[in-house]
Amino acid sequence: MRHKGKSVSFDTMVKFFMHTYNIPTKKDVDKLMNKLNQIEKLLKSTGGNAKRGRQVSIKSNRDKTVKGRSGSTAVNRVFEVIKEFKEGAGLPDIKEKTGFDEKKVRNIIYRLNKNGVIKRRSRGVYVAT
């Protein structure tokens, strides 16, 4: 037995299928495009330098500073300790002066060495360049 009544419109049928099968609508795509535009504006306003790593800047051959998020970062503290030792600072010296654990000191030394701010004089001994 057939029911007589309103027939289902084509638009209603399309909306039902789009909703059932999770197909994005024009409105969904427009929202996504707006969010992408916001992200692009944010990246442009930061100059595209939204990196997490630290950079090293050299003021002169003698006086090097390490850029960080604030004036007294862990990297700067380790660098200052290494500068204090003219003959080179070892890992135990740096750990004692800074109070940092070994893993943190090793990671900071790796970054400073990679950026050319310090040099490895001998095994476990580092000097400021």
**Which two structure tokens, joined as six digits, stand for 99?**
């109070």
Cα angle at 30 between 29 and 35, to 5 degrees? 95
Mean pLDDT rounded to a whole number for the chain: 81
**Whether pLDDT at 68 is above 50:** no
The CATH classification of domain 56-128, taken from the options 3.40.50.720, 2.60.120.1600, 1.10.3720.10, 1.10.10.10: 1.10.10.10
Average confidence (pLDDT) over 45-56: 59
Residue 94 burial (C-beta neighbours within 10 Å; 0-12, 13-18, 19+): buried
**Whether pLDDT at 104 is above 90:** yes
pLDDT digits (tens, 9 = 90+) for 15-49: 899 889 999 888 889 999 999 899 888 888 877 55
Domain ranges of the chain: 10-45, 56-128
